[in-house]
């Protein structure tokens, strides 16, 4: 049988463990897999773009396990009361090809995005950051804030969004989180004096959410909203003057902030810093950017983490046939064999 984790199952699991503990554990799995980056079979995601959004398949394998995620990105969905991003994933045994786990990944993707953001900031930001600015308070905002609190011990989070209802939502959800939450009236107010800035906007266009005049020495920028061709958040002059770190360079060249830059613009893959083969931040005044578009290895880590947790949440599903004769698939089309009368009497008497 194949284990299934639905949205309600994952929600219950996170609540039982505690969201901050879950984020720390998830970041630990992601870091472990990044340190073994070279053992993975990797490819840029397969994307189908339309006028309204994108549908993508994201595969990764370490030779023992294979993971694949289906994910969409449709910014206009909220007008119909639907989520901008939804996803589900599969973790399979490479030896047999059998799926071990089928999981919702709408919630899990939000959790893993926040975990990898905080992991990158812990690796690249200046020491002892205190303040996080969050530009864009959609579905990702609270996860980002709590991940930075859990992994970097951020004390204050400043929030800004052009949608006052989204801002209200984020402030309400973060009340009682242990963070000092500050609602800001502009990007400039949120960013001024912040140690780390996360941009997580949904507009499907090349926009300048951050401009060079807002950037201060020593800032770490976590750009996660620019995640498809033609969609960016940072003014190109910011990117040009910073040290830029990415997940999988071939994919980020197409989808990330660096799609604005020349093909030979230098970047460093984050796994190299975690593995000790490349340098991260070089000085306290340096501006660093994690140009994150999301990559399949992170989904692999997330599915592996969920599989390894206590199995009390979720249930088994009969996704695959179970046959007495593995060569006789057609037997599933035949009516069940009747139980002989003598056998029926024995069953009733017992």
Active site residues: 227
The candidate with the shortest Cα–Cα distance to 58, out of 318, 302, 317, 316, is 302
Q: What is the CA radius of gyration of the chain?
A: 23
Residues 158-189: b if buried by 16+ CB within 10 A, e if exposed:
bbbbeeeebbebbbebbeeeebebebbeebee
């Amino acid at each position: 049988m194949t284990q299934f984790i639905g949205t309600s199952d994952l929600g219950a699991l996170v609540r039982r463990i505690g969201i901050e503990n879950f984020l720390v554990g998830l970041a630990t799995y992601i870091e472990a897999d990044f340190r073994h980056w070279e053992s993975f079979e990797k490819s840029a995601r397969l994307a189908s773009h339309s006028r309204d959004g994108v549908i993508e398949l994201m595969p990764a394998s370490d030779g023992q396990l294979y993971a694949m995620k289906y994910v969409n990105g449709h910014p206009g969905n909220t007008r119909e009361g639907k989520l901008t991003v939804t996803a589900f994933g599969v973790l399979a045994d490479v030896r047999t090809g059998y799926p071990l786990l089928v999981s919702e990944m709408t919630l899990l993707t939000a959790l893993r995005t926040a975990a990898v953001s905080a992991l990158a900031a812990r690796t690249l930001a200046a020491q002892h950051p205190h303040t996080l600015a969050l530009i864009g308070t959609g579905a990702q905002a609270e996860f980002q804030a709590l991940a930075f609190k859990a992994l970097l011990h951020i004390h204050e989070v400043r929030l800004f969004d052009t949608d006052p209802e989204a801002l209200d939502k984020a402030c309400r959800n973060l009340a009682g989180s242990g963070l000092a939450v500050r609602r800001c009236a502009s990007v400039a107010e949120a960013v001024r004096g912040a140690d780390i800035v996360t941009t997580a906007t949904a507009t499907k266009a090349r926009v300048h959410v951050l401009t060079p005049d807002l950037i201060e020495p020593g800032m770490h920028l976590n750009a996660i909203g620019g995640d498809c061709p033609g969609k960016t958040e940072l003014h190109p002059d910011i990117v040009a003057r910073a040290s830029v770190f990415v997940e999988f360079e071939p994919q980020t060249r197409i989808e990330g902030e660096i799609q604005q830059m020349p093909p030979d613009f230098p970047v460093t893959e984050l796994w190299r810093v975690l593995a000790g083969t490349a340098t991260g931040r070089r000085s306290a005044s340096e501006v660093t950017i994690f140009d994150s578009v999301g990559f399949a290895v992170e989904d692999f880590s997330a599915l592996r983490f969920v599989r390894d947790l206590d199995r009390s949440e979720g249930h088994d599903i009969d996704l695959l046939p179970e046959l007495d004769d593995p060569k006789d698939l057609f037997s599933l089309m035949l009516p069940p064999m009747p139980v002989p009368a003598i056998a029926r009497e024995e069953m009733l008497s017992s």
